Chain A
Amino acid sequence: MQPQPSAAAVTAVLSLDGVIKDFPGVRALSSVSLSLYPGQVTALVGENGAGKSTVVKILTGIYQPDGGAILVDGAPVQFANAQAAAAHGITAIHQETVLFDELTVAENIFLGHAPKGRFGLIDTAAMIAKSRAILTEIEAPIDPTTRLRDLSIASKHLVAIARALSIDARVVIMDEPTAALSHKEINELYDLVDKLKAQGKAILFISHKFDEIFRIADRFAVFRDGQFVGDGHIADVTQDDLVQMMVGRSVDQIFPKRISAIGKEALKVVGYDHPTEFADISFTLHKGEILGFYGLIGAGRSEVMQALYGITKPSKGAVRIDGDVRIIRSPADAVAHGIVYVPEDRGKQGAITALPIFQNVTLPSLHRTSRHGFLRLAEEFALAREYTARLNLRAASLETAVGNLSGGNQQKVVIAKWLATQPKVIILDEPTKGIDIGSKAAVHEFMAELAAQGLAVIMVSSEIPEVLGMSDRVIVMREGRIVDELKRDEMTPEMLVRRAAGIGDTE
């Protein structure tokens, strides 16, 4: 049962054995195992949705497993909460560091375990001195009395590492620590990781970037769809081996059969540039087509869509809709020109729960159901009835507040709202993120139907099966740029992963 490491003499500091984690309707982890050894960096590799974040949350006591065991030094333990994990010397450095901007560096390092002086008051001088000592040890040029908000992201990472050292951590989990760092800062982080290794800390390093995995990791563990695929020494594998393991066999998921009848150009974007988010974005979208946007998280896909929708402003570039050049300055412009955007965070950005169904549906179409600013309730109801019926929305009355509906029906209200604007282009950002398999199939079905009706669909997705199963064409983005465009019959999972991660970029 126990996965035997080849360096069998060393016991794992921390390991997971057959851990299971269920969420309503989804099994996030099924029987995964993972071992972390002192003085070694283990890279955790997997696609989005492979279960990496869930593993981190279990290791740090935020989630409790539904089955299997957590072992510290070979002995089973239970982490009732985050404090319990911290007490075992497990600490995590997150993508966006979870520290307190308004406190000083020293206060952040020692929050919760500050040195106490007389009368149980915090001994500020000792705290600053100890902080300085730790920061010197990791060669971080940071004054412990500065406020955290004045530091760069890289420096904040260093503070988080200092905090880990201050509680005498034995296991340091780094969740995509380099995502927001510059090239120079990344190299400094590598040096620091080497130093932590030398001190005998066990490090779990989560990254999408293959170059850095091969630069700093000693071992690897690959997850796919919440399952453990394999682990071993990094020296024994190549990048291609890892890609193969990550992607694996095609997932048993059925996608609707589509006969794409691709029509005229619906949308053309030429030379979109943004000072910080993306550059040189050009693509064409046709009626009846589903265009997938694939890339790693943070590749700039949503940012392009938000610019296209008028939420942010590109510094350069032009948009043509149905052959006419259009200028989009606000979401209202976008809607007026026939582009709608269904954002990723539908809960926050979708429905207005205090308002009744019909008012939610007609909200972006009010100019059609009103005259000189005065609403025509009969027309409003007719419009709302037409589109809720098309989506088979079940509710006693269109005057029911959306907050009283189930999640799935709320989502139908949001989609009905956008369809009621009679758009030409619909942008779906991660349309199936966080929903169960059954609902996923319904969303896929629905997307196919929209395309069949001649709508041009952009689908931003990080899930390879979905990208492969639904798209007529895929645009792959990496670091704010389009790196490839693939037709349906020329894409393979391996190709998507390699292009998105930038493996084998020779030409």
Chain B
Amino acid sequence: MIRRFLRSREAVLSGAILLLIALIALRFPAFVAPQNLANVFNDTSPLMILAIGQMIVILTKCIDLSVAANLALTGMVVSLLNIAAPDLPLVFTVLLALSLGALLGMVNGVLVWKLNIPPIVVTLGTMTIYRGIIFLISEGKWVNAHEMSPAFKALPRQIFLGFPMLSWFALVVIVIAVVVMNRTTLGRAFFAVGGNPHAAVYTGLNVGRTQFWAFTISGALAGLTGYLWVSRYAVAYVDIAGGFELDVVAACVIGGISIAGGIGSVGGAVLGALFLGVIKNALPVINISPFWQLAISGAAIIIAVALNSRANKTRGRIILKRKEAEA
């Protein structure tokens, strides 16, 4: 059990993150203070939540480029709703964000499932459409902090058992995702459909419908993140989280999720996101310019992909019986 974990991607990635943190600590010891690490985790929470959704989509051989636009649109809708009805209980706001996000995800899912349009094309299209809708409903104007109700803004920052609610949202999503992916028939279907779509069809799985559910989950998580994002930064406008979908895909790739589908884990997505989060938070404090940040994230992605493709290479056919028994 332990040996298998040590050989897994998650272990390698954990090691890389620890090494990174150790290197940073050499120059800036305060970085490893527990409070600061908790802050890094909190800061990375939106990325982790989105990366989990994206991981599921990528697992089924698809990609969702519309997550950031979905986040921005849902964020704008809940912000406008908050202006209109400031006393609406937050539970409804959160549920609305989840369901609106899920609905936007379903649009992607239906187009992929029923019309057989390649996912990259579908989500590029809806990405632009969702951004356009934000402009239409907000008339291009910002929703600023003073327009939002105090409770609306406070939720992500509220401390519960020593951690902000934003972190708790991420933790709950991680736990639910682990259960869904490992202990439900739907989770199993995601792996099977991406691993070998032909075999999945013959097994009686509906490939399109499984992909539809992947997009729906990714959309719901994007919607949830939409509320968390606008309330945390206390602002909503057309371009929030612009380009963030690429960070999300990057987190998945670094986390060992195979772009070809069928291989990946919740742990990988979370660690991939944390890796990017550590870089993003650490480089400014050790005085490295933001431009280097981009280059370093980029290099991390390429290194991760190179390592993964080496790990996924088949080690030749197993002909020796003894070796097979050991595998």
Contacts and interface: CB of A to CB of B under 8 A. Distances in A.
Interface of A: 309, 311, 330-332, 334-336, 341, 343, 345, 348-355, 359, 363-364, 366-367, 370, 373-375, 377, 394-396, 400, 403-407, 409, 417
Contact of B326 (A330, A341, A396): A396
Given A311-B202, A396-B325, 11 more contacts: A335-B204, A343-B202, A348-B198, A349-B199, A352-B199, A366-B185, A370-B184, A395-B324, A395-B325, A403-B314, A405-B327
Contacts of B324: 394-396, 404-406, 409
B24 to A, nearest CB: 35
B262 interface: yes
9 contacts: A331-B202, A331-B203, A352-B195, A352-B200, A355-B195, A364-B204, A370-B184, A370-B185, A395-B327
A353 B191 CA distance: 11
A403 B311 CA distance: 13
Contacts of A330: 204, 206
B321 interface: yes
B205 A332 contact: yes
A377 B183 CA distance: 8
How many B residues touch the partner, as a band?
A: 20 to 34
B22 interface: no
Contacts of B191: 352, 354-355, 359
Contacts of B204: 330-332, 334-336, 364
B299 interface: no
A77 to B, nearest CB: 34
B201 A354 contact: no
A3 B248 CA distance: 69
B201 A331 contact: yes
A341 B188 contact: no
Contacts of B183: 374-375, 377
B196 A352 contact: yes
Given A331-B202, A348-B199, A375-B185, A407 B192 contact: no
A311 B205 CA distance: 11
A311 B195 contact: no
B263 interface: yes
Contact of A354 (B203, B263, B317): B263
Given A363-B188, A396-B325, A407 B317 contact: yes
B83 interface: no
Nearest to B187: A375
A396 B327 CA distance: 7
Given A354-B263, A355-B195, A363 B203 contact: yes
Contact of A341 (B182, B202, B319, B327): B202
Contact of B198 (A349, A374, A375): A349
Interface in B94-136: none
A363 B192 contact: yes
Interface in B166-223: 182-186, 188, 191-192, 195-196, 198-206
Contact of A332 (B206, B262, B314, B326): B206
Nearest to B321: A394
A353 B188 CA distance: 14
A359 B183 CA distance: 12
B185 A350 contact: no
Contacts of A407: 317
Contacts of B196: 348-349, 351-353
B321 A367 contact: no
B208 to A, nearest CB: 11
Contacts of A336: 204
A214 to B, nearest CB: 40
A375 B325 contact: no
Interface string B231-260: 000000000000000000000000000000
A351 B327 contact: no
Given A311-B201, A351-B199, A363-B203, A400 B319 contact: no
A404 B318 contact: yes
B209 to A, nearest CB: 10
A394 B320 CA distance: 12
B198 A404 contact: no
Central interface residue in B196, B198, B317, B325, by most chain A CB within 10 Å: B196
B192 A355 contact: yes
Contacts of A405: 318, 324, 327
Nearest to A310: B204
A152 to B, nearest CB: 25
A448 B203 CA distance: 24
B63 to A, nearest CB: 18
Please list the 9 inter-chain residue pairs (A to B) with the smallest Cβ-Cβ separation, ordered nearest first: A332-B204, A352-B195, A404-B327, A331-B204, A352-B196, A335-B204, A349-B198, A354-B195, A366-B185
A350 B325 CA distance: 22
A354 B202 contact: no
Contacts of A353: 195-196
A396 B326 CA distance: 6
A348 B326 CA distance: 26
Interface in B297-327: 314, 317-319, 321, 324-327
A373 B319 CA distance: 38
Contact of B202 (A349, A359, A394): A349
Contacts of B262: 352, 354-355
A14 B214 CA distance: 58
A353 B258 CA distance: 14
A406 B318 contact: yes
